[in-house]
Amino acid sequence: MKELQEVSKETRNLYWKKNIRLTIFTMVIWFIVTYVCAFFVKELNNIVILGFPFGYYMAAQGSLIVFVWLIFNYAFKMNKYDKEFGVEEEEEK
Amino acid sequence: MANGKSSFLDNLGKIYLMYTGGFILFVIALGFGEKMGMSNAAIGYTYMGITIGLYALIGISSRTAKVSEYYVAGRSVPALFNGMATGSDWMSAASFIGMAGTIFGLGYDGLAYVMGWTGGYVLLAVFLGPYLRKFGQYTIPDFLGARYGGSAARTIGIIAAIIASFTYLIAQVTGVGIIMSRFLGIDFQIGVFVGLAGILVCSMLGGMKAVTWTQVAQYIILILAYLVPVTVMSYNTTGIPVSEVMYGQVLQKIDAKEKAINADPKEIEVMGLWKVESEKIAADMKDVPAALAAKNQALEDKLAALPVDAPAADREAIQKSIAALPKNPTEATEKWKAAKAAADGKSKPIKPYLEPFARLDMLNMLALTFCLMVGTAGLPHILMRYYTVPSVKQARISVGWSLFFIFLLYFTAPAYAAFARNEVLSNVVGLPIASLPAWMANWAKVGLVSFKDLNADGILQFYELTIGADAIVLATPEIAGLPYVVSGLVAAGGLAAALSTADGLLLTISNSLSHDLYYKMINPNASILKRLTISRVLLVVVALISAYVATFKLTIIVELVAWAFSIAAASFFPALVMGIWDKRANKAGALTGMWLGFSMCLFYMIGSRFYGLNWFGVKTISSGLFGIPLGFITIYIVSRLTAPPSHELQEFVESVRIPRGSAQTHAE
């Protein structure tokens, strides 16, 4: 585990804090598009776009689109943080 | 050999593009064949022969004698392709064939499956995937063993992995048998074993490496097969071939039709007839043994009363009804309860398709979504796939690609359901029974569709029709007026979905036994050759056992699959997440947490399914709702009541949290 010597403890802690913030952000959005939208589905269904009641749409497709975005967003941000804090991987062979 | 390998990996995109193009040409050629008079059976056999042949070819050419290739595909699968492989690993026969039908039947509430089976990937992406890749061993029990020091955690991991995966595997093998028998007209049992050969040839020689490259090939076929029919249907109905957007219009039509049906006097008459039926069953259920005996006696009397010269068909029909009666009062109670629930459902006006919580209450819908999500992130055959990418960076991206490829299918499932429901409500209900469309008769033959003119008015009412969930995807090509070659494509897609999931599960189970149990616990000095030989033998043995169990066609299997999610969610997920996110979590905490979570989940499952246990009205399928939090809380508390993990283990957690150093785990 020589990587622990290569990266100082402070840097690792800062990096981990950034990670936790991004994780919380991701989980909050995740929670809203699934559970909060489902909880208020009846109210949301009063909005109709292209024939789709909005509450129904969120469960059928809307939340899915947000999930895909959330994961890619997380991946790109984390890969950026890796470089910022110098904890990125050695060159892939 | 090294050269050959890298040139394959460098040209992956080109190879699979050519493969896709070749497959499309093959389908078009078959389409011409059909026009020239090729029979349906011939088309069916060509599809099955060519696709299974292709998978076998990939499987055999990916054979390997290296441990890291056998277990984790040499950690050389690029993010995008791992995403496709995960997609087909994940999407089972049930997703492919059954999902749209579930939404068709449950309306809004059925979307719990859509959200649950996709939202879980968000959990996987942020809590587990990248860290497991950094850890970089071969199996999920490996992580538990390393993090919680020793064989005890590993053993629980092995047990949970096998329980969750094996029930799931049987369902896939059953799915293979059903598709084979339906499209080739062969016996179910033979279908199971032919399918099994298809599964083994992909995984036995090349392990994870072979499974990965066949899964990518299978994904391409299954997604084409899923998208083609519904796109045509959308074009036919709305004039625009983008079903995912256009079904909004259809939803409004469905709503209007349902209202019209609920007001139709003929429909109300049928509802009344179902009410009478329900009351009849209720009367029978007051004294089940007596009612069963009376039914049996009535049929026996009828048989005895037949004149000697009565046609043999009449006699056989009565004998069949006798054989179809429940064997004992317990079975009768189960059956009649279900029949009564069905009759009750049909005795009331249609609940609007778009109305939320009409079929599942809010608590159960949300609980189910939650359990499916956490289960998704806890199933070992999925987690394992993130060991196969070259780096942590790629693991993160790869979860995104996985969900994207899964999304393509799940995003379309609600459209399938809506178009099918619109078709049934607009173009089938209200027709004279004598002139129903041909697809209904075709699927009635295999029992997926059934209808009966209850009020004898010669017209089909909504509640005189029963459509099995599997019929929606399978019948859509015919509903859309597409040639048989598309129906065959859908069958090939269903087969690909079942085979790819079965491959992944089979590998998980046999690896748990050969790597975790044998190599790590029984004989750590085993040579590479011995390890791989044992793996392969176990693969065949597990496959044979699953096929043998599948031939019994146990009805409980479908239920057990749903349970597998809660089991994985309650046993694996808390221990894995805490292992990474809570440095203080220790062996004692993890062991008690895993056992308690698992036992609580099992306790509620069995209690609520068989003994009327009921907490807050939560259904059996969402048993994980109690096990998951209990697992987390137990690990947290017990870990803090006992000694902290050793310095080395804490360093281990620190190292898993940063990507740097992943290359160390690259080489075997």
The DSSP call for residue A49 is E
Structural domains of chain B, count: 1
The DSSP bridge partners found for residue A49 are: A52
The reported pLDDT for the residue numbered B454 is: 86
CB contact under 8 A, A71 and B356: no
> Can you tell me the distance from the alpha carbon of B571 to that of B628, in angstroms, rounded to the nearest whole number?
8
* B12 interface with A at CB cutoff 8 Å: no
* A10 interface with B at CB cutoff 8 Å: no
User: If contacts are CB pairs under 8 Å, which of residues 48-77 in chain A contact chain B?
Assistant: 49-53, 55-57, 59-61, 63-65, 67-68, 70-72, 74-75
Q: Which residues on chain B are in Cβ contact (under 8 Å) with A7? A: 658, 660
Residue type, B71: Y
> Can you tell me the distance from the alpha carbon of B193 to that of B303, in angstroms, rounded to the nearest whole number?
39
CB contact under 8 A, B108 and A56: yes
Contact present, B207 and B67 (Cβ < 8 Å)? no
Which residue in chain B is spatially nearest to A57 when comparing CA positions?
A: B248
User: If contacts are CB pairs under 8 Å, which of residues 32-51 in chain A contact chain B?
Assistant: 34-35, 38-39, 41-42, 45, 49-51
Q: What is the DSSP secondary-structure string of B126-159?
A: IIIHHHHHHH--SSHHHHHHHHTTSHHHHHHHHH
The reported pLDDT for the residue numbered B664 is: 57
Does residue B352 lie in a domain region?
A: no
CB contact under 8 A, B652 and A61: no
Does residue B353 lie in a domain region?
A: no
Query: B161-174 as b/e, with b when 16 or more CB fall inside 10 Å?
Result: bbbbbbbbbbbbbb
Contact present, B132 and B387 (Cβ < 8 Å)? yes
> Can you tell me the distance from the alpha carbon of B226 to that of B222, in angstroms, rounded to the nearest whole number?
6
Residue type, B601: C
Q: Determine the Cα angle at B655 with ends B653 and B656, to 5°.
A: 65
The reported pLDDT for the residue numbered A92 is: 52
Residue type, B641: L
Does residue B31 lie in a domain region?
A: no
CB contact under 8 A, A82 and B411: no
CB contact under 8 A, B118 and A67: yes
Does residue B47 lie in a domain region?
A: yes
The DSSP call for residue B437 is -
Our measurement of the distance from residue A76's CA atom to the centroid of its chain's CA atoms, rounded to an integer in Å, reads 10
CB contact under 8 A, B118 and A4: no
CB contact under 8 A, B122 and A72: no
Does residue B489 lie in a domain region?
A: yes
Q: Determine the Cα angle at B483 with ends B495 and B431, to 5°.
A: 105
ipTM of this complex prediction, to 2 decimal places:
0.96
The reported pLDDT for the residue numbered B128 is: 94
Contact present, B196 and B173 (Cβ < 8 Å)? yes
A6 min Cα distance to partner chain B (Å): 9
The owner of tokens 């890749």 is: B133
The reported pLDDT for the residue numbered B663 is: 66
Q: Determine the Cα angle at B58 with ends B52 and B63, to 5°.
A: 125
The reported pLDDT for the residue numbered B410 is: 93
Does residue B536 lie in a domain region?
A: yes
pLDDT in tens, A23-81: 999 999 999 999 999 999 999 999 998 889 999 999 999 999 999 999 999 999 999 99
> Can you tell me the distance from the alpha carbon of B166 to that of B12, in angstroms, rounded to the nearest whole number?
32
The owner of tokens 């065959």 is: B488
The DSSP bridge partners found for residue B449 are: B467
Q: What is the CATH number of the domain that holds B631?
A: 1.20.1730.10
* Strand boundaries in B333-484, DSSP class E: 449-451, 465-467
Q: Which residues contact B447 (CB under 8 A, 6 or more apart)?
A: B468
Closest CA to B417 of B124, B105, B90: B105
Facing residue for A60 by CB, picked from B111, B404, B659: B111
Domain holding B648, by residue range, is 39-236+361-415+483-665
Contacts A–B by Cβ distance under 8 A: 157
What are the mean pLDDT values of chain B's consecutive 10-residue runs (668 residues total)? Answer: 63 92 94 91 91 91 89 92 95 88 89 94 95 91 90 90 89 86 84 86 89 95 93 88 88 90 90 91 87 87 83 83 83 85 88 87 93 93 93 94 95 91 89 87 82 88 88 86 90 93 93 90 89 91 91 77 86 94 94 93 91 87 92 96 92 92 57
Does residue B384 lie in a domain region?
A: yes
Does residue B430 lie in a domain region?
A: no
The reported pLDDT for the residue numbered B630 is: 95
Q: Which residues on chain B are in Cβ contact (under 8 Å) with A79? A: 393, 396-397
The reported pLDDT for the residue numbered B309 is: 81
CB contact under 8 A, B660 and A90: yes
